[in-house]
Every structure is written in structure tokens, then in C-alpha cells.
Structure 1
């Protein structure tokens, strides 16, 4: 049997020695990015009566996945991951500037940038990597959350589709967690909603690698307007 080639280059998009385990940690609800403090205007949707039970929550989140911010964030993540793999700091800065500019309200800009900076700081502290360190140093201002995830994944050579699957499912889990705390549904119903969104996450993860910046955009106008209305909502548990 031939000896393995110790100098062989890693396979394209191959994860490192830790496999996919870092993704499980990075996109866990327990990862210290402050996701628990944000609802992406879901709190307003509950207040307005748009989300009132399991079925309306599932419909609201499905729209956010296929027509709203989750799809656009996934596209931005994919391009950031590829820029990191190519060690292209200029491209990464361009993607990040676009991601920050696409936030439709002050609250949603805070949501993505606070989580992005916290995510990047936590990954650099616990999972350092030479390419990650070199590129992260170029992001001196606001960092959008999907760009931070893409940078970390690209810096650690995580496979793109698996990263997208994990990211999209984490988006669903975080929003369902907010819905449970807002009390229109219980934990069992929330678990069913997450399970119902999993096929959507899988399909998007296969579609997104083929998409360009021309495919960015959303049609969830009520959710976007709700983020403005949330700023003056009388009682609030969440920052968005």
C-alpha cells in the first residue's frame, strides 16, 4: 500500500482537523454573540398580531428564509467565505460594506453589526488561524454577521454548503427561540417550526453558491417596516 503524501494539498473546501465541529459551536445559541437580545422585528410582529400561533410563526419565518434577510445574508456569507479562501482582503471589505449598507433600519444594522463583531472576536480568541487573523485585521469598523461567519469559515476552510446549512438553521433557531420567549407558542411547537424550516435551509444552501450580488434583495416589506415601528414600541424585550 502506498504511503500517504504528507505534502499533498488539502481538498478544496475541506474542513481542518476538527472537521465540522467548530460550526456546531459557532452557530450554537450558546455562542457569545448576543443573539438572545434580538428578534429581527419578530417582537413587533407578535405585538401587531401577525404572529399569534404556530402556523403564523412558521409562515412568517418561511418568508424571511426564502424572500427576506436570511437568503440575502446567505449570499453575502458565501461571497465572504470565498474571499477569505482567496485571501482577498479588498474583496472582503467590499462585501462587508455592502452587507452593512443593506440593513433596512438602525435596529437591524445594530443587530447584524453587534453580532458580527462579537462573533469575530470570539472565534479569533478560541479558534485562531493565520488567514483569519490576517483578514480580520482589515475589518476595523462595523462587521456584518454573515460576513464574519463567512470569514471564519473561509479562514478555517469549512465547506461552503455545510456552512450555509448550519447558518440558515441557526437563523431559524434563534428566531424561534425569540418567539417562545414572546409567548405565542410553546417549546414543542417551536421545535416543530424549526423542523419544518430545515428543508428550506437545505434547499437554500444548495441554491446560494450559484448566486451573485445581482440576486440580493428581499420582499418582506412588512417585516422591514416592523423594525422601524419596533423602535418606538411601548414595551420591548428585544433590541430589534
Structure 2
């Protein structure tokens, strides 16, 4: 692979150093530890389950559609798919996470010179994916690479949460990430091939864990 500004921008977007606050969220995994996620094997099953039945069926195909809409300067299309993504977040915490990280990424992109991001700082139906798609479109990153980076960044954040919550260690986390690098390309290909009517994920265990997290007495994460 040749080094290019697009590749480096993609690495920037996927970096855990991106100051958007995703490290503060576990997306239900924290409560999942009360539901049997107690070791590396269980964490791997949880992460890959949500990735395959949620992320690949919902986030990635919608991200690809928003990326295409940004390329076409189709703001109505971006708003439509962002609203659909937000509506698909089934708990208050997941919706608030989407809005907060979306606003944070919008502010960052504005400060990096992408004026298109400015209205999204306060747009009610903003999502992280909408702004991720904007960055990909304006930085000439292809949809397949953008979706792969999104999926990897999501997985890395889940692994970081699992390392904090479980006795699995850094090496265990790297084993999960290594397996993810083998699976993500296929999931991206599947996501990009979905028709509009097929877009929609289902991860009931995650949803139940997220709903219970709202009333958890003590917690490390915001979701």
C-alpha cells in the first residue's frame, strides 16, 4: 500500500487520539459484565456479535450512504440517513452517545477547516457517522476504506473498554483486534452490498444491557 495523504487522514480518523470522547462509552458492555461477559472469550463473542449483527447491518451501510450523499452535496440525503441511524439507537444512552460524539466530531472538523461541519454542531439529529462520512468525502477517502476504519475504531474502543472491565490484559485485547482485522473486510463488503430495505441491525443483548446501564448504581462508562 502506498503512503498518501488519504491514508494518513484515514489513520487520523480511526485513531483513539481523536478528541471526540468515544473512550467514555462502552455501549452496554459494562452491564454486559453482569450478564456473563467475564473473560476474553466472552468479550470476543460479545464484540463480534454486535459487530456482525449490528454494526455491519446498520452503521456501515448507512455510513456508506451518507458518504455518497456528501460527495453529491445531497444534504437532504445526509440528514435522512443520519436521522434513521439515530432513530435506530434503541436506548436513551445510545442516542445521547451518538449526538454527543457527533457534535464533538463536528467541532473538530470545523476547526480543521471543514465548514460543512459547522451546522451539525447543533443539528438535532446529528450522528457520529454523518460527520465521519463528511470527513471521508472531503478528504477523498473511498467508502470501503472509510467503513473499514469506522469498524476498526469501533472495535478498538470496545476492546479498550473490555480491558478496563475484565481480567484479560492488553495481549487478550490484541488477540481480539487481530481477529477483527480478518473479519472486517468481509463485513464491509457485505455492508456495501445491502439494499436500502435490508439496512437494519439487531443486537437485543446489547440493547438490554444498555437499557439496564441507565440505572446502574456504579459505573465507569457513560453507556
TM-score (norm 2): 0.92
Alignment RMSD, CA only? 1.6
1:35 is aligned to 2:25: no
Structure with bigger gyration radius: 1
Q: Which residue number corresponds to residue 9 of structure 1? A: none
Q: Which residue number corresponds to residue 35 of structure 2? A: 48
- Which runs of 5 or more residues in structure 2 are unaligned? none
- Tell me the distance in 1 between the aligned counterparts of 2:140 and 2:183: 24
- Tell me the distance in 2 between the aligned counterparts of 1:146 and 1:71: 14
Q: Which residue number corresponds to residue 94 of structure 1? A: 80
Please say if residues 31 and 212 of structure 2, whose CA atoms lie closer than 8 Å, have aligned partners that are also in contact. yes
- Which runs of 5 or more residues in structure 1 are unaligned? 1-16
Q: 80-89 or 139-148: which moved more?
A: 139-148
SS where residue 107 of structure 2 aligns? helix
Give matches, 1:1-240, under 5 Å. 18-49=5-36, 51-126=37-112, 128-129=113-114, 133-134=115-116, 137=119, 140-240=123-223
- Tell me the distance in 2 between the aligned counterparts of 1:217 and 1:72: 5
Please say if residues 78 and 209 of structure 1, whose CA atoms lie closer than 8 Å, have aligned partners that are also in contact. yes
- Count of residues in Structure 1 that have an aligned counterpart in Structure 2: 219
- Tell me the distance in 2 between the aligned counterparts of 1:155 and 1:178: 31
The structure where helix makes up a greater share of residues is 2
Cα deviation per residue 1:149-193 (whole Å; 9 max; x = unaligned)? 112211222111111111101111000000101123111101101
Q: Which residue number corresponds to residue 4 of structure 1? A: none
TM-score (norm 1): 0.86
1:218 deviates by 2.2
